[in-house]
Amino acid sequence: MANLLDYLKESQFDSFYDRPLNKLDILALTELAYLPFDSLVPADFTEKGVRIDQLAEDFAAKYQDEFPPFSMVTKSRLAMFQLLAQAKRFKHLRAFAYVDQYELDLQKQFAVISYRLDRQTIVTCFRGTDDTIIGWKEDFHMTYMEEIPAQKSAKEYLEGLIGSQPGLFYISGHSKGGNLALYASSKLAADLQERILQVYPYDAPGLHKKHLESPSYLMLADRVHPIIPQNSVVGMMLETPDHVQIVQSNTIGLLQHISFSWEINGNDFKPAPALTEDSLQVDQTLKTWTASLTEEELQEFFDLFFGLIMEAGIEKLADLTVNPLQKLQEIDRLRKELPDEKAQMLDKLSRLLIDTRYKIWLEGIYQNLPHTNFKLPQFSLHFPSPELKVPGFKNNTENYVNDRRKVHPDHFLRVHNFKFPDWNDWLRGPSDKKDKEN
């Protein structure tokens, strides 16, 4: 099963005249945006930039294979970088206008790089979420905020770049980077936006519905080409643009978010017939859950959730590799010290999310077993208004409880004597718990 690396090997002796620029080429440049190029690529829009082959040499000399754990520097990206540096079609490209910002006070993680293909063509690639907790928190802010800090920076970057450079532009990004590409491109003035050739969001969150219906987005819509794997989760967040290309992946679950798992056929991705049931159910779970909450509730939930993690001394995923049990215990300790009101709110919304996921999964099972008496374990789903409708599912079973599609925000997983385990119970061994009971 061929992937992006196989394509780069196959095309390494082809120029862009032999094989015109395509979405696989742009994906490779987009993945390159995840690598740390601080002090190696100029930030100025007007500078000439550094050739890809020279950048590869400078990168190797600077880092000498010493990278922090859980960083964005993966084996696949390093192998890809080497192929790009050797390829006839890529090695002469010049990288410039590199920006990498991490601002804790603004809760912003933002990075972008541009490549000059020739005098008239530039490819701009926005980086997705890195391994910082702030970056992940900012992603979830998109569920309720009109504009997150990274989106504002992306818009300002494109305005400055396109306003100062001649020619035409391809805009892309993977994960959150694809959302930034989509958002920033749709917010440009008409005279700048008309110079964008194509926008490629790779498994990226969409936009809020009102953004997709705005005149500025509609002028761009036919140039937007979203690409998602068949089990996409990230790419289904918010409202997805039309004409999504669904592609096959050689892995499962959330690992399909890794674009090196996407299968290719010639100069394009190998198409998948449809999204998986799991992708659709997770999408409906998140949309149902967020729709049931106010903006204030969502903000408080994410502030508390990520705040506990950062207060425990975890600012990057790599921090979990140092004394992980101690950090988990610290998170649990901090949670128990929360005021009762905040602790109850965090618990309530967490359980509502789990409850919603179970319910939508159960609906899917019943749809697939319409003519049997098969029954799954039931949760208590009878409660008064207000109610929350689960979108997109129809009741096809006579014996199905009529109000099963009602979910109240105050509803928990009401199983007899059910309790979520205490962190300390998980961290203590069986013998420790037995001694405590005695």
pLDDT digits over 156-193, tens only? 999 999 999 999 999 999 999 999 999 999 999 999 99
Are 163 and 118 found together in one domain? yes
Residues above pLDDT 90, as percent of the chain: 50
263-290: pLDDT as tens digits: 999 999 999 999 988 888 888 888 888 8
Query: Number of structural domains, the chain?
Result: 2
CA distance 402 to 405: 8
Q: Which domain holds residue 121?
A: 4-275
> What is the pLDDT at residue 358?
67
> What is the pLDDT at residue 407?
38
Are 384 and 265 found together in one domain? no
pLDDT of residue 244 exceeding 90, the answer is yes
CA distance 128 to 10: 27
> What is the pLDDT at residue 364?
63
* Residue 77 and residue 62 in contact, taking contact as beta carbons nearer than 8 Å: no
CA distance 54 to 33: 16
Are 81 and 160 found together in one domain? yes
CA distance 11 to 83: 10
Q: Examine the fold and report which residue of 275, 310, 331 is the final residue of a domain before the chain moves on.
A: 275
340-371: pLDDT as tens digits: 888 888 887 777 777 776 676 666 665 665 55
pLDDT band, very low/low/confident/very high, at 130 (cuts 50, 70, 90): confident
Give the mean pLDDT of 332-339.
Answer: 88
> What is the pLDDT at residue 384?
36
Are 313 and 264 found together in one domain? no
Q: Examine the fold and report which residue of 275, 298, 328 is the final residue of a domain before the chain moves on.
A: 275
Give the mean pLDDT of 196-218.
Answer: 95
Which range (66-75, 319-328, 414-423) has the least confidence? 414-423
Pick 260 or 375 by higher pLDDT: 260
Are 289 and 244 found together in one domain? no
Give the mean pLDDT of 112-127.
Answer: 97
Torsions phi, psi of 146, nearest 5? -65, -40
> What is the pLDDT at residue 69?
61
Which range (60-69, 97-106, 200-209) has the least confidence? 60-69
> What is the pLDDT at residue 205?
92
pLDDT band, very low/low/confident/very high, at 231 (cuts 50, 70, 90): very high
pLDDT band, very low/low/confident/very high, at 198 (cuts 50, 70, 90): very high
Are 265 and 346 found together in one domain? no
Q: What is the mean pLDDT of the chain?
A: 82
Are 351 and 247 found together in one domain? no
Q: Examine the fold and report which residue of 275, 310, 343 is the final residue of a domain before the chain moves on.
A: 275
> What is the pLDDT at residue 136?
75
Are 182 and 296 found together in one domain? no
Are 57 and 15 found together in one domain? yes
pLDDT band, very low/low/confident/very high, at 416 (cuts 50, 70, 90): very low
Are 291 and 403 found together in one domain? yes
Q: DSSP readout, 94-152?
A: EEEEEEEEEETTTTEEEEEEEEEEETTEEEEEE----SBHHHHHHHHHTTT-SS-HHHH
Are 92 and 180 found together in one domain? yes
Coil vs helix vs strand at 407: coil
> What is the pLDDT at residue 219?
97
pLDDT of residue 79 exceeding 50, the answer is yes
> Per residue in 128-137, is it b (16+ CB within 10 Å) or e — as a string?
bbbbbbbbbb
Give the mean pLDDT of 239-266.
Answer: 92
CA distance 284 to 245: 20
Give the mean pLDDT of 302-313.
Answer: 86
pLDDT of residue 417 exceeding 60, the answer is no
pLDDT band, very low/low/confident/very high, at 201 (cuts 50, 70, 90): very high
Give the mean pLDDT of 24-40.
Answer: 97
CATH number, position 268: 3.40.50
Q: What is the pTM of this model?
A: 0.78
Pick 379 or 394 by higher pLDDT: 379
Are 175 and 51 found together in one domain? yes
Residue 295 belongs to what H/E stretch?
A: helix 295-311
CA distance 29 to 93: 10
